[in-house]
Amino acid sequence: MGSRFVITDHALERFAERRAVSAALQMSQYRDLLLAELERGVPFGGQIGNDELYLLPSDNVAAIAWQARRGVVKTVLTREQAIANMQSMGAVLRSARELHHQLRDIPDAEAELRALAEEHFNNGIRRKERNAILRELGYDPAGEAGEIYRAAYRALIDDLWARKREEYSRLHRR
């Protein structure tokens, strides 16, 4: 099975520039190294649209556009560059402790976020609009509230696909 990531030449060059390796590697070796890091990367920050940022083990950040379950790696940034980009787009970065206290002080915040996720899922509201609604309600989509919301939303998607797979296999057992 092929990789779930497609790496652009630009992203590979940026990765090679930012990766501190004592011996000079061939570009194919950098590609293999980047693919390994992408597989271990984790989502970084709240995103708008089909793009995602992945924090890599090397502390770099990959900008990825998802298309048909394949991630096209557009560029690789330093962590500081990624944070500066998020702040320039209006993100307010807070410490996890500050967000924890903020949500803990709001009664039933988790239940409200889960209900919002279900409502948005059922109404087919797109990601950009969902994030705007969360902000209007005083929640930070890139913070702890966003994590709770996204987990609830993903659970609904997973449930939908599980039901579809079950229905498909039931119809094709005959």
For the residues of 67-106, what is the DSSP string, one character each?
ETTEEEEEEEEEHHHHHHHHHHTT-----HHHHHHHHHTS
**Model pTM?**
0.51
Distance, CA of 116 to CA of 114 (rounded, Å): 5
SS3 content of the chain, % helix, strand, coil (to 5): 55, 15, 30
**pLDDT at res. 24:** 74
Q: Which stretches of the chain score pLDDT less than 50?
A: 1, 101
**pLDDT at res. 132:** 86
**pLDDT at res. 8:** 93
**pLDDT digit string (tens) for 127-155?**
888 888 888 888 888 888 888 999 999 99
**pLDDT at res. 119:** 92
**pLDDT at res. 107:** 61
Neighbours of 36 (CB within 10 A): 12
**pLDDT at res. 1:** 41
- Range(s) within the chain of domains with CATH label 3.30.2310: 5-88
Contacts of 140 (CB under 8 A, 6+ apart): 46, 92, 94, 99, 134, 146
CATH (one of 3.30.2310, 1.10.3470, 2.115.10, 1.20.120) for 5-88: 3.30.2310
Residue with tokens 């940026």: 14
Distance, CA of 78 to CA of 145 (rounded, Å): 25
The single-letter DSSP state of residue 22 is S
